[in-house]
Structure formats: C-alpha cells, structure tokens
Chain A
Amino acid sequence: MKAFTALLIRDMRLAFRAGGGASLAAAFFALVSSLVPFGVGADLVLLGRIAGGVLWVSAALAALLSLDRLFQADFEDGSLDVLALSPISLEAASAAKILAHWVTTGLPLVLLSPVLGLLLNLPPRAYGALIASLAIGTPALSGVGAIGAALTLSIRRGGLILALIVLPLITPALIFGAGAVADAMDGTGRGAFLFLAAFSVAAVALSPFASAAGVRLNVGG
C-alpha cells in the first residue's frame, strides 16, 4: 500500500511540474472547445445543441495528450525496470499510474467543463449531466489510454499510433457520455449514465491487467 501511494504521489508530482502535462491537457481542452464556434458559426442555439458532444470530444482528445509519456518516460530512464522488480505488482503499479493520470488530467477537465459549457451556451439543465458524465467517463479514458500507452511505450513519437488505437476503443464512453448530456437536455431518460458507469467500471477494473501485460512484453525483453 505504501509503495502504491508513493508511486501515485510521484507520478502526480511529475505531472504537475511544468511540461508534465496536467495544465497542458486543461489548456488543450479549453482551446479545442473554443475553436468550435470558429468552425460552425456563432449561432448560440446551434452551439447549445452541440455543446455536450463538442465538450466530450475535446475531453477525449485532451485526455490522450499526456498518455504517450505515461510509461515511456519511466521506460527510457530505466525506472520501469526497477518498477518491474518492486514489491508491488505491475498491475498495481499500472493502477497507480492510471489513477495519477486521471487526477492530473481527467479531473481538471471535469472541473473546467462548466466554464466551457458557458462559452458554448449549454442549456442550464444540462450542466449537472455534463459534469457527472465527465466525472464518470474520464477514468475510462485514462484506463483504456493506459493500455495504449503500455503497448506503444517503445515507439519513438508513438503519440499518433497511440491515438489511433485508443480512440476507437473509447467510442462507447463518448457515445454514452454525450448521450447523457443529450438526455438531460431533452428530458429523456435512456439509461446513459448506467451504461457509462458500467463501461467505466469495466475499463478501470480491467485496464491495469492489460497495461501490465503491455509493460511486461516491453520490459521482459
């Protein structure tokens, strides 16, 4: 447990440093969301209708940003080998890293989302759903993203292939997350939160195992 917490705190500290990726993801999230009106026009009614989806897509992209360094940084300076020999299992280590990634990348997105919702004229009744869906869904993004990060950690500039393999896999989160916001706007209840939660729980529970497998195949040699 102590080793788990130590790894967690270390990763979070690294992420919060300059160039560590925490503020980068939040800035990227804000930037992409702000670019959308330039693309689709300033019609507030239109923006309000698409705000939920836009914010979810931007969040998914932003969450990807710091992923390629999740394991690669430790791989390059040898700390991943040390980690493989440490008292905690690679699965637990991966879980710690996923949690750290969520706290430093996902959580800021959740907190920033209502502000961006304002920018995009999200209807007032949808704010709760926006925040809740991102809060429930971003852990899945971190989890599945970590799997991709582990598989691609030996690839130079693997960020693009990482995005290519992770984005299709997180489609359900995007669909249910944006769907939850849409439901709140329309006043319909189609179980979006239930399915989103199920996906997230499954993703978070299983991703440490797949990530550890990815690390093992790269470190075992």
Chain B
Amino acid sequence: MANFFAMGGYAVFVWPAYAVTFLVLITAVVLSLQSYAQARKSVRQLEEEGSGTEDTR
C-alpha cells in the first residue's frame, strides 16, 4: 500500500499530476453545468413572465 502511494519515489510528481487533472476536469464540468442551469432558469423565467403578461392583458 505504502509502495503504491510512494510511486517508486515519483509520488511528488505523479500525484500532483493526477490531482491537477481531476481539479481542471471537475471545474470544467461544474462551471459548464452551472452556466447551463442558470441559462435555463433565466429563459424559463422570462418565458413565464412573457406569457403571464399576455394573460392579464
């Protein structure tokens, strides 16, 4: 187990490489999902408001 984490002495390079990979990929996913959710919310809101004013006219 300890051998695995030590990565034959290269641990200080291998683990940060994988860590930064996870970080970048997960950040990309989270940001993309957030913007998507935000955009969908705005469009829904605006469409509801639009149809709302039509009804009351």
Touch between chains A and B, by CB atoms below 8 Å: no
